Structure 1
Amino acid sequence: MYLELLVDHHTSIHSLLKHLSAFTSASILAANAEEASRAVSRLAELLTVHLAAEDKFLYPSLARSEDEHIRTTAARFDEEMGHLASTFLS
């Protein structure tokens, strides 16, 4: 269940980034400021939820795996990326 949600987040994040990349100049951005602002807000919201879900659910779940490689990888990912949500919000 959580995995499907995280995959959906990745898809949505990719889609929003692709949408934002269309604003290739200041004039295009100015002409579409409201749309760009909504997309940036949605992206920030989605990243906040996604990163928190990884910290609270994904990494702890993987850390309980019976597979040592999965536990080791989860610990490394948690160490490297486990606090991105709080960093992003600061």
Structure 2
Amino acid sequence: MEIDRFKQQHVDILQGIAALRKFSQAGIQENATEIARQVKALGSVVTLHLAVEDRILYPSLQKGADLKLAEMGRAYEEDMKGIANEFIAFSRKWSVAKTVAEKAEEFRAEANSVLKVLHSRMQRENTEFYPAIEAA
């Protein structure tokens, strides 16, 4: 199975997380407009990535002959549901500059929590899941 598109989306997502970290460290209130723009952009990439996984990747693994890979896909799909819901709520809440500026410390706390989980998930897929798919 060709997964280069998924891997590139991971690069884009990880770059988006890094950009948010950079702007946040430079000052949340001072960079609220750019942070909100980055949250919105990251939300678009993550939403696209989730949709493609749900429509193409997971169904393909379920139809494949490799039962271990099919089970791994099911586990990753199930695990992603909670992560996706949290991220989507985060993205909706923090894509408005005024909200980011007015609630800077709340943004920082939520970003640290939600983006850490998302980052960890991307890394697990990059080191465990995608190599298993490529090896099959």
Pairwise TM-score range, normalised by the shorter structure: 0.7 to 0.9
- For structure 1, the residue ranges without an aligned partner over 5 or more in a row are none
Q: Looking at both structures, which has the greater relative contact order when contacts are Cα pairs under 8 Å and sequence separation is at least 6?
A: 2
Instruction: Tell me the distance in 2 between the aligned counterparts of 1:83 and 1:32.
Output: 29
2:100 alignment counterpart? none
Q: TM-score, normalised by structure 1?
A: 0.78
Alignment of 1:1-90 (within 5 A): 3-22=3-22, 23-24=24-25, 28-81=27-80, 87=85, 89=88
- For structure 2, the residue ranges without an aligned partner over 5 or more in a row are 90-136
Structure 1 residues 48, 10: closer, same or farther in 2, change over 3 A? same
Per-residue CA distance 1:1-51 (angstroms, 9 max, x = gap): 8622111111011011111112126xx122222211111100111111111
User: What is the total number of aligned residue pairs between the two structures?
Assistant: 87
Q: TM-score, normalised by structure 2?
A: 0.55
Instruction: Tell me the distance in 2 between the aligned counterparts of 1:75 and 1:34.
Output: 38
